[in-house]
A and B are shown apart, each in its own frame.
Chain A
């Protein structure tokens, strides 16, 4: 019974991580550097949606306990995050003449700029979307699952976005070009693909998904200027676990890391849940180390299988 609740929470948290990790993985493979500003791109999306929601408010009817205005705000958040990332690419990254390490360091500066500007405008405190928190869904409580309609909305919206990306990658011209470029940029270029344009599209899509992830994170928890940066390392862990450059790996890695993160409380009572294991067996790790577990997994993956579970073994 307890397990069901943790699994449900894991699913919600994974949805957010997956949205973040896809974008990070795309940019990592196509722009070829570890983008430390990705977490703060999520924050940008969340706060843009916050402002937009304040403007449109409770527009029209509601779906899953969320007014239509929220979905408008979600679209605004996605759009602003995408535009901000593309502008940053054009203004900051593109004129640079340095290696991927230099780009990595630059992205830390970009992350600080995003966060500082948000903090100047909105202050360092936590805020919430002006949406009434809901009670858990009644008919699920007997099963030990306490989730709200909002949580369902998060999972469904994330699934729609990820499904849309899948269709885009597999069945559109742009998707084919992106996959070609992630595979081998030079080969893609000599085949006549305009790699610069694909790179911009990659930023647009990656940052847009990150913006959506940020909005959902704000709905799930709260908004604060540090929300994205705090999540960044977890997303890196997901990307590395899945294999850098693989979108489907990032989905899988994000799902696993999100699940493990929320299942941490179960670890100490593992013996009671698993068959064939003595009841007393358990890994005594407190919930405060949920993030630490993800980081340790990340380092272990880097050591044992640097290409991740979905990458090709070398």
Chain B
């Protein structure tokens, strides 16, 4: 039942929200394509946006594996993101105040290691706390991390930030010279002679990198979510006492989920450092945390597809509002408008659809279980769902 072999049946098998999201995604992609072809959207900027969207998706995956799977209210997303970004930057940048100039892969490993240690340090005290206390405590500790990054100038360069971060592929055999080699290539499209600069190819490499990160993370999380381990996490989310009564060490499971999510957030930070080539303490601002929260809740808590979708929507809001600056008839500054939009979105979601747009449904069921089930269940669920499309 693939989308390619039998599109109509694939369409009919989707739920209402899935159809809506599909239409939205296709429409949005078409809009971007039009922008790209008419020259309103520079290709390099487009690739940057895609990279940013991939980064937000990674952050959402990380938060989803904490909040969506296990129900941990982690408000320190920005701290782990920042630690990942700073870890990568300080190890690989040549202006690093500590020991720069290493291969970015070393930076990746170091950043993930530091983030893992930090996750354990934050997790040990806070994961025993009640849900709302965890929210406050994690936000407080994230602020502590931000203050340390801002003030320990001898390690982090303080508010000046770290510059001179190399691209992720520096030091790789073939890919290092790929952008500059491709820059001379002339593409003969019908009608026009197109030369794409080195920046474009560098952007393309970044998109490939983030696509790899997102793809691997998505597959791992999808598998993990359905596994016995994921089932325990889901049990903890809905009823921690029940999980404990079943003999599970819930604290240990919560810690594993917390560390897993934090590593994914740090991965997003590493990518950001090599995408932006500059990191500053401003990247640890708590507002990033709340952007990611909106992405996860919008997508549907617990749903990896939803987190992916939410990540893209957040970038659409964050960067899309920049275009509004060009319209003179909007009397207000755009920065608060973005904040207002995010705020209204949170309130509207909690009011009308607290479970999000794509709540996890069938993605939690093993495919085998569906195949072995009778195609026409007694309760006629399928008829109802199939009939719903004829409205």
Contacts and interface: CB of A to CB of B under 8 A. Distances in A.
Interface string B61-97: 0000000000001000000000000000000000000
A110 B347 CA distance: 7
Contacts of B73: 101, 104
A116 B132 contact: no
Query: DSSP majority for the A interface?
Result: helix
Contacts of A124: 333, 335-336
A109 B342 contact: yes
Contacts of A100: 132
A121 to B, nearest CB: 9
B140 interface: yes
A295 B142 CA distance: 10
Interface residues of A, number: 42
A288 interface: yes
Contact of B143 (A108, A225, A233): A233
A141 B304 CA distance: 63
Interface in B346-363: 346-347, 350-351, 354
Interface stretch (A90-98, A156-164, A189-197): A90-98
Interface string A264-307: 00000000000000000000001011011001101100110010
B340 interface: yes
Contacts of A225: 336
Interface residues of B, number: 41
B126 interface: yes
Given A95-B351, A288-B147, A289-B151, A116 B343 contact: yes
Contacts of B1: none
A113 B347 contact: yes
B22 interface: no
Contact of B333 (A98, A119, A236, A298): A119
A167 interface: no
Contacts of A299: 125-126, 137, 140-141
A95 B347 CA distance: 11
Contact of B144 (A98, A105, A117, A292): A292
B345 A109 contact: yes
B133 interface: yes
Contacts of A116: 336-340, 343
A198 interface: no
Contacts of A123: 333
Interface string B158-188: 0000000000000000000000000000000
B334 to A, nearest CB: 10
Interface of B is mostly: helix
A108 B346 contact: yes
A240 interface: yes
A33 B133 CA distance: 10
Contacts of B347: 92, 106, 109-110, 113
Contacts of B340: 112-113, 116-117, 120
Contacts of B139: 233
B137 A106 contact: no
A120 B336 contact: yes
A133 interface: no
Given A292-B148, A299-B137, 6 more contacts: A106-B347, A110-B347, A116-B337, A291-B143, A292-B144, A303-B128
Query: Top 10 nearest A-B pairs by Cβ distance?
Result: A109-B346, A112-B343, A295-B140, A116-B340, A119-B336, A113-B343, A116-B339, A109-B347, A116-B336, A106-B350
28 contacts: A33-B132, A101-B73, A102-B350, A104-B135, A105-B346, A105-B350, A106-B347, A109-B344, A109-B345, A109-B347, A109-B350, A112-B290, A112-B339, A112-B340, A112-B342, A113-B343, A117-B336, A120-B332, A120-B337, A123-B333, A240-B133, A288-B147, A289-B151, A292-B144, A292-B148, A295-B141, A302-B129, A303-B125
Interface of A: 33-34, 92, 95-96, 98, 100-102, 104-106, 108-113, 115-117, 119-120, 123-124, 225, 233, 236-237, 240, 286, 288-289, 291-292, 295-296, 298-299, 302-303, 306
